[in-house]
Structure 1
Amino acid sequence: MHKILVAFDGSEPSKRALQYVIDLFRDSARPLEIHVLNAQYGPVIYGDYFTSRMVEDVNEGLLTQANSVLDEAAILLSAAGVAHETHAALGNVAEQVNEAVKQLGCDTVVMGTRGLGSFGGLLLGSVANRVIHEVSVPVVLVK
Structure 2
Amino acid sequence: MGVSTQASFGLAILCCILVFSGLQMYKNQLGSTRLMTLIAGYMASWLFIFMLTAVSNLENIMFGKGFQARVIPEVVLCMILACSAAGMVHRVSVTVCLLCSLVGLYYINKMGQSSTAALAPSAVSSKKKKEKLTN
Q: Which has the higher contact order (CA 8 A, sep 6+)?
A: 1
Please give the TM-score of this superposition, normalised by the length of structure 2.
0.34
Please give the TM-score of this superposition, normalised by the length of structure 1.
0.33
- Which has the larger share of strand? 1
Larger-Rg structure: 2
- Which has the larger share of helix? 2
